Chain A
């Protein structure tokens, strides 16, 4: 956690809410500016390097070449002068006259005490003056000297060597060279590099604007798409060219929007269906009460019959409301507090509860339960699943039929199977029966008190607990087989 985040966590800083939806991104915070800045910083760094390193290298190369040349010349002069024990002005002049092609701007020759015996300078007469130059003193002490610098548009180099005769230092030679030509060359190179750098800078700025715009255009398109969808335009799809991450993001966005659209349509349909289902019993109640109220000479038996029908419709409303509530709770629940549930025990409770109903409609209810089938679930939810399946199997059955409940374990899966000899479900409607309010036979369902929500609850509950429900036609006769699978739980815990 960064320092700012820690401070926010402690409450020392206000929470970072980011930009409000729809707000304009400040210029210096936008991806385009950041990209452009990064690009320009890199280019600037390269240009700085381009304008410094090659010139420094070139300067060093010139210094090295100057050092070689001057040292060679000083050595040649020293060698020409080292012909006797003592250096004189005349001897120095004679020796210098014989030397040609010296590139030095100035040559000084001194004796061992630093007295000038020869000076090529035409500006002043330094003969028999003492040259207390740093280079000459160092050379008279026996060391070769060279130094060069680039200053005032010229390479200014100085070299000095001792004149040694038979191991004795008899004097020193000092050479000074001022080279403006090399300096001019260097300046031309520098000028060209600057010109090239300027062109590169301009090109970089232009390209930077173009590339950043191209890069962020897709981001802007995505942002616009988000805003459209946020306004409720779930049918909006964004089209991005390319195969980069942004194109992938666009693809995911379209997928998400498609699901949002589907969900929205399902929600609308559900609300429409729910409102229709609720309106229907209310309309019946309204009709029945109006009939009672508007009939003047209505007999009591008829009234009783009408009131009984009103009661049934009210019960139906109650059942629909309860099941809607259950579904809503299932929809809203993100975490399920589960525990070890013995499925056989739940089935036995359901059997006990529905046995009277089965007997009343002359349907035989049998259970074949395997021991040790435990799942990690909520007891009430599992009861609801079993109850809905067995109740449907009984209600949509024929007199003399049967409902067979089997429970077994296969590997890591607990399998619950409810098989009935009822009216069956057509093949083309098998995948729709789990949809909310879907009924194969509306009339029969209504007569049986059905709401059209039972199987939706079964599927949603099974999925929430890691299971799945499937439906198939019963082999060898009419009827249906519902199979619910759950992951088996083998751990310890209090069974419900």
Chain B
């Protein structure tokens, strides 16, 4: 009797997991010690970096997080992957609270939700070949396929998946262009076949063409493998072309969030309007420079 109850409970959680969103974030808050205000002999006062951030990311969904420097967007990326565990609020992954995960569940969570960093030069080990960097997650978790013990074949496939030639695997990161390095970062994030990518400013520092290639790649991954995406950027135009939902952060707080098309067509908040107007569109407009948006 009790066995059957157990079975039904398991069945229902499995059902819940299927219907629960991939990521459900509620009232997330994070504070860090403010070292600038630290008294000499005592602990630094805490400073709020993120306050009351909530959103839902469905499987295969795309959320754009927009913010300028100091808005807390990189901290949000770290909080979501529990590299900086938030003090307040909850993150639920497929209906289960990430806070309660044991070590094994946390490893599983981090394989499913992968972070791609802003600066590939500091995120890639300069002394290792690209193929070793890309296959490292497989090696670390003992998931290298049989007959490919050094990961060369797996790395080659991953590199080809992000539009690079497998031969690039022999090179070191410094011998690649900025756009290629960023794609190596994405290839590594894809190694464990995650459900979601959290991309933190991955196109800043690239020129327009390399940027357009990364966006095309992310779009293709989403279409072909149903990869969900949290795309963190200061570039509203890129977010517009990639994301269904947007969330606009300012000094750690959500200014405006919702359907991307609606927000871009009718921004309600003055800060959103100001951000939109500050983007120089490639169209001559002599009045733009002096225009102030209230």
Instruction: Please indicate whether A and B come from the same complex rather than being unrelated chains.
Output: no
